[in-house]
Structure 1
Amino acid sequence: MKNMRRFSILGLLILVISTFGCKKMIEDEPLENAEIDLVFDATDSLGKYAEDYLNNTYSSLPNGFNKIGNNMLDAGSDDALPSSTSDAVQFFSNGAFNSVNLPDNPWDANYAGIRKVNIFLANIDRVPLKTAGFKQRWKAEARGLRAMFYFELLKRWGGVPLIGDKVFELGENIAIPRSSYQETLGYIVAELDAIMPSLLSPNGTSGYTTIYFGRFNRGVAMALKSRLLLYAASPLNNTANDLARWDAAAKASKAIMDSVAAGKFVYALSTLTTTAHYSSTNVANLVPAGTTLTSYVTGVNRFLNIFSTRYNTELILPYLRGTTTDVESNNEPIGYTRAGLGKTNPTQELVDEFETFAGKQITEAGSGYTLTSPYYNRDPRLAGTVSFNGLYWLTRNVQTYDGGKDRPQGFGRTNSGETRTGYYLRKFMTPTTSESAYTAANHNFPIFRYAEILLNYAEAQNEVAGPDATVYKAINDIRARVNMPALPTGLTQAEMRNRIRHERRVEMAFEEQRFWDIRRWKIAENVLNGTLHGIQGTLNGTAVSYGIVDAAPSRFSASKMYLYPIPYKEITSNNKMVQNPNW
């Protein structure tokens, strides 16, 4: 933890202007650096600066948009590739990362966040807040954020040094051994349980979707516990398949669902269609006319509105950002005059995962799928996730056939900056009517949303009790939101397990789920050893013919890569630090 020794108190006391409602909570630039006595002012009964300090700590939460060389983290999984062969994120899929060259390395950032929290907790009692309950809630929020920072460390490295409430001074020697996985897990769970009573409840009167949207409330703490215990129960961390762990994970998710059912929490699967991303006119080429077309349009618009609507009750914890254009500029197809970069390129493996609109996998008999029309009559979430040839965007259909506007050099031109797979990212992006200029739009990164809670519950409950009625309901509710048919009845436990994993992949694509799922399930060695694929389109007159092509080799070493290597500088600066196996 060499980097922690470099931080002075002044360097960490960054204050930001904090506004709520329709304005973003987290500002990008510091207002000033200030002394502790100014921040934690013994005469400030409103606690303005102390609250600003706490609000700034929220900026240390994970923000998943194009954070690794302008690429999504999932461009290092089997779901996508970066458009450039030199982008570091693909080191996770080709096995080229190590303790020195680690593209996703938030070790310092999370310990800096933990230090911010500890400074807050050590000093907040000197502020004479006059509003009853605020100080207790602020302390609980800070501890919740700290629990989140430890979880971000745990899922990457396993057990890490636990420092409690200690605030280390400048120049102090820090040599702390790693705690075990179970010790770190236990610490996070204990912190979450302790703060629950002091947190706001996400109900209709607490300001959850207005003034306190984006705060670490009771629902957030329960969502973190749901994900944390699911990871702890998964094969990577539960080699003996202890069903008690699965049961604990199921109960953690069910507690949120029960609070929703009882009207205590306002969470729900969003069915908003505030932004009309698509109409029956511009997707008429993708599904049969009539009721099928109407149902399809509704499904894809509902799905995309989760990510383009600033406030909705599906978002349990978003990373609140200002209105920006960066998601579009980094990811949209390259052939538009506003010159998007097309950075994240979904793989054929991901595209093939989406069922037909009738609910059949494309390899199933009677699915109706053909490579001649590969995107026809598919799950609406495909059009809400991936930009493929013929999908409408802005003022025209995407052209990713060889020589098309969005793939002018054609397949195999890996240095041209265009898609390597024949696909671009569609999810999260909001279209405008202008092809020449970007319009700033809402881009909240969904750290937790209610659909995940249903998926977490279904997975854990299926392992404990098999595919009972509650498992079916959780998955079918998610599918019904986009007008996909219910799962077939009579599935075995193993068949349901595969269905749940399928549903997580298509529902949560590019939300930093797949990257971790293939690790906790211990299937990365299967899906990332071989070749990742794309598609090549050839224009013949007015028709396009398609062929599946190799896009990039993949490699994953099961002996070491399920955990990140401890960063080299931490090994050299802390003589009690032990490296992860085989690194």
Structure 2
Amino acid sequence: MMKHIELYKQVSFAILVMVIALAVVSCKKLADDTPPAELIGDDLVFDTKDSLGVNAEKFLNNIYADLPRGFNRIGVSSQTLFSITASVGNILDAGSDDAVPNGNTDLIQYFSTGGISSSVNPDNTWSANYAAIRKVNIFLSKIDRVPLFTKGLKDRWKAEARSLRAMFYFELLKRWGGVPLIGNKVFDAAEQINVPRNSYGEVQNYILSELDSAMPFLLTANAGANGTFAANYYGRFGRGAAMALKSRLLLYAASPLNNPGNDITKWALAAAASKAIMDSVSAAKFTYALHNAATTSHYSTTTLAGITTAANLSAYVTSVNKFLSIFSTASNNEIILPYMATTNNSVETNNDPVGYTRAGAGKTNPTQELVDEYEMTNGKMILESGSGYVAANPYYNRDPRFPSTVTYNGLYWLNRPVQTYDGGLDRPFGFGVRNSGETRTGYYMRKFMTSNSSTTDFTATNHVFPIFRYAEILLNYAEAQNEAVGPDNSVYAAVNAIRARVGMPNLPSGLNQADMRTRIRHERRVEMAFEEQRFWDIRRWKIAQNVLNGTLHGIQAKLTGTTVNYQVVEVTPVKFDAGKMYWYPVPFNELVSNPSMTQNPNW
């Protein structure tokens, strides 16, 4: 940490106080004795006479704005404190093997070309996370001034703040490994920062301790009375969210990157953390579930005609709509912790195919590597014997999550089929001609996008980014349990539940541990695509050196008469240095301003 970071944090706090002050002034008549807003300090925020804690809660709510926001956040030039902007950026997974940006100079590619350094890091969240930790520490140091009338409310707010702080430390941990732990310390702006890094294990144990201490005071996930999680608390850190963070934290700790000796007890702990959530669901303590309703009709049997057999079409369309509805329904029981934002059109603005009159940016281009991961509806991989895959009609009869995730040539969007053949509306220049402005792979991202907008204008609508969702818990459990004890019935049940939601057949019986590991990793890739999972999965599994060294591919489609011919093509070379790139480099400014700071190996 550094002086300039702390100054930034002081400024962000001052902005918050001013916003609150202006809100207060606007709600009452101006009088001669009303002090100027810039002179109002934290006594207003943590008011000793405010039994409702109105402004203190606003301060806590502001901390929620620092949670991971997902979507096209990389390279965005201006992110306000309170909303997602419409600035064009990239998704994090465009720096993995799942996608590339449509501009070959976009900074996100530094993760797949070996271009990051201590001075250039497209995902440098060090300052932002420590700024958020500072806000939590300010809140915890001052909230006891506020005489809250509601019994237990102060304890819950403190627990939420501590859970948020645990989340911010996890965001640091997964990027840099061990980082400085500062406890409840609130540094003065002029104070020299001289704090050494703690070890990975020390930071992990601190996060676990914070979560375990907070959980008894957090709301559960049920809707109802007696301290349970009412609908108006959706998006807050409840007990289930704290348990989900614990599940992910322990899974990462057990994974090869952080568990080179393959200590089985670490896998068992990770499995138990996920199982605790699943057991709470079974006991009706939590209402989490796989979202199993087509609450939004993104597609119909007319718009998806020809995508599968006529006999299967109706069920297939329902499965596609079910999956898409997870991300377009404002609140549902699958989302354990969402990033909450006002209705907006940023996802469509950033990712729309470029040929529509509303002129989307088409930023996210899925790779052929990701496309090839989607099975046929009979459960076989495309190159597996008996799959039924036909190269001349490559998108027919594929896992319903495929058209829910990837926009390909011929998929219906808004008012027409997408045209990504050379010279088509959505690839007007054709493969290899342009380095920006249209798809480089022949694909666009479909996931998260709503289809209820006008063909000429972007309509603000719900976009739910799932920080944690129940499907991940099932996948976390399956992975950890398989490593701890092997592919028992509970592992099959967890994976098969996710597949059944979209009408995919059960996994074949008799898989050994290695085969099940492959299946789980595959399932995680297709289920969680573009949710900021793959980027971290290939690191914690230590396979980035395998999947990000070589070449990423796309498709070239050519229209001859009424026939489209497809050919897999090379899109971009990729490079990953296993000697250093599994951890981010510590930012250069941190190294020069903190005498106790040390750099990660080989940077």
TM-score, normalising length from structure 1?
Answer: 0.96
1:105 match: 124
SS of the aligned residue for 1:211 comes to helix
Q: For the structure 1 residues 46 and 395, does the alpha-carbon distance in structure 2 shift closer, same or farther, using more than 3 Å as the test?
A: same
Match of 1:234 in 2: 255
| 1:90-120 alpha-carbon deviations (Å, 9 max, x no partner) | 1101111111010000000000000000000
1:97-176 alignment runs, 5 A limit: 97-176=116-195
Aligned to 1:27: none
The CA deviation string for residues 535-556 of structure 1, in whole angstroms up to 9 with x for no partner, is 0001011110000000000000
Q: CA RMSD in A?
A: 1.3
Structure 1 residues 474-531: Cα deviation after superposition (integer angstroms, max 9, x where no partner): 0000000000000000000000000000000000000000000000000000000000
Q: For 1:547 and 1:185, how far apart are their aligned partners in 2?
A: 47
Cα deviation for residue 416 of structure 1 reads 4.3
Q: Equivalents in 2 of 1:140, 1:194: separation in Å?
A: 8
**How do 1:30-41 and structure 2 match up within 5 A?**
34-41=40-47
Q: CA deviation at 1:8?
A: 5.9
Letter in 2 for 1:186: N
Per-residue CA deviation, residues 427-486 of structure 1 (Å, 9 max, x unaligned), is: 000012521111111012110000000000000000011100000000000000000000
Matched residue, 1:53: 59
Question: Distance between the aligned counterparts of 2:12 and 2:367, measured in 1?
Answer: 42
Contact 1:458 1:474 in 2 (8 A): yes
3-state DSSP of counterpart to 1:194: helix
Q: 1:373 to 1:8 in 2, by over 3 A?
A: closer
Structure 1 partner of 2:234:
213
1:195 aligns with 2:196: no
Can you give the 5+ residue segments of structure 1 that lack an aligned partner in the other structure? 18-30
* 1:412 CA drift (Å): 0.3
Distance 1:11 1:311 in 2: 30
Q: 1:399 to 1:8 in 2, by over 3 A?
A: closer
Is 1:65 the counterpart of 2:71? The answer is yes
1:77 — aligned with what? Answer: 96
Match of 1:25 in 2: none
Taking the aligned partners of 1:240 and 1:33, their CA distance within structure 2 comes to 57
Give the Cα–Cα distance (whole angstroms) in 2 for the partners of residues 252 and 489 of structure 1. Answer: 26
1:344 matched to 2:364: yes
The correspondence for 1:549, drawn from 569, 580, 586, is: 569
Match in the other structure for 1:223: 244
Alignment map for 1:236-251 (pairs within 5 Å): 236-251=257-272
CA contact (8 A) 2:126 2:172 kept: yes
Deviations 1:544-580 (A, max 9, x none): 0000000000000000000000000000111110100
Aligned to 2:592: 572
Match 2:374 to one of 354, 361, 370: 354
Range with greater deviation from structure 2 (561-570 or 425-434): 425-434
Which secondary structure does the structure 2 equivalent of 1:105 belong to?
coil
Give runs of aligned pairs for residues 271-286 of structure 1, distance below 5 A. Answer: 271-286=292-307
CA contact (8 A) 1:532 1:553 kept: yes
For the residue of structure 2 that corresponds to 1:381, the secondary structure is coil
SS in 2 for 1:453: helix
Question: Residue 209 of structure 1 contacts residue 312 of structure 1 at CA under 8 Å; is this kept in 2?
Answer: no
| SS, match of residue 382 in structure 1 | coil
Q: Give the aligned partner of residue 277 of structure 2.
A: 256
CA contact (8 A) 2:298 2:452 kept: no
Gaps of 5+ in 2: 21-36, 76-88
Structure 1 residue 11: deviation in Å?
3.5
Q: Distance in 1 between matches of 2:192 and 2:262?
A: 40
* Identical pairs, percent: 65
AA partner of residue 6 (structure 2) = R
Q: 1:87 aligns with which of 101, 106, 111?
A: 106
Change (3 A) 1:413 1:497: same
Q: d(CA) in 1 for partners of 2:41 and 2:127?
A: 23
Q: Deviation at 1:33?
A: 9.0
Q: For 1:444-455, what aligned pairs fall within 5 Å after superposition?
A: 444-455=464-475
Deviation for aligned residue 1:370: 1.7
Aligned equivalents of 2:367, 2:230: Cα separation in 1: 36
- For 2:493 and 2:230, how far apart are their aligned partners in 1? 26
DSSP-derived class of the 2:476 partner: helix
Amino acid at match of 1:468: D
**Closer/same/farther in 2, CA of residues 113 and 412 from structure 1, 3 Å limit:** same
Distance in 1 between residues matched to 2:240 and 2:12, nearest whole Å: 32
Distance in 2 separating the partners of 1:240 and 1:416: 44
Deviation at 1:382, TM superposition (A): 0.3
Counterparts of 2:302 and 2:551 in 1: how far apart (Å)? 37
Superposed CA deviations along residues 240-277 of structure 1, whole A, max 9, x for unmatched, are 00000000000000000000000000000001212100
Decide whether aligned partners of structure 1 residues 473 and 8 sit closer, same or farther in structure 2, where only a CA change above 3 A counts: closer
* Distance in 2 between residues matched to 1:268 and 1:276, nearest whole Å: 20
1:400 and 2:420 equivalent?
A: yes
Q: Which residue of 1 aligns with 2:485?
A: 465
Give the TM-score taking structure 2 as reference length.
0.93
Return 411-420 or 54-63, whichever deviates more: 411-420
Distance (Å, rounded) in 2 between the aligned partners of 1:494 and 1:325 = 43
Name the counterpart of 1:183: 202
Mapped partners of 2:189, 2:454: distance in 1:
52
Which one of 267, 270, 291 corresponds to residue 288 of structure 2? Answer: 267
Distance 1:416 1:451 in 2: 35
SS of the aligned residue for 1:383 comes to coil
AA partner of residue 261 (structure 1): S
Name the stretch that deviates more: 452-461 or 91-100: 91-100
* Helix, strand or coil at the partner of 2:468: strand
User: Shift of residue 7 of structure 1?
Assistant: 3.6
What is the CA–CA distance in structure 2 between the aligned matches of 1:334 and 1:238, rounded to whole Å?
A: 44
Shift of 1:59: 0.3
Partner SS state of residue 132, structure 2? helix
What is the CA-CA distance between 1:413 and the residue it aligns to? 1.9
Cα pair 2:9 2:134 within 8 Å, conserved: no
Deviations 1:332-357 (A, max 9, x none): 10000000100010000000000001
* 1:284 Cα deviation after fit: 1.0
Residue 185 of structure 1: how far off its partner (Å): 0.5
Do 1:204 and 1:265's aligned partners in 2 also have CA atoms closer than 8 Å? Answer: no
Q: Is the 8 A contact 1:5 1:173 kept in 2?
A: no
1:303-341 CA-partner distances (Å, limit 9, x unpaired): 000000001000000000111011001001000000010
Determine if contact 1:334/1:340 at 8 Å carries over to the other structure.
yes
Of 310, 317, 323, which aligns to 1:297? 317
Residue 372 of structure 1 aligns with an amino acid whose one-letter code is A
Q: CA deviation at 1:207?
A: 6.3
1:11–1:33 contact (8 Å) kept in structure 2 = no
| Cα distance between partner residues in 2 of 1:217 and 1:530 | 43
Distance 1:386 1:401 in 2: 15
What does residue 315 of structure 1 align with? Answer: 335
Q: Does 1:382 align with 2:397?
A: no
Q: Is the 8 A contact 1:411 1:536 kept in 2?
A: yes
Counterpart of 1:90, as a letter, is: Q
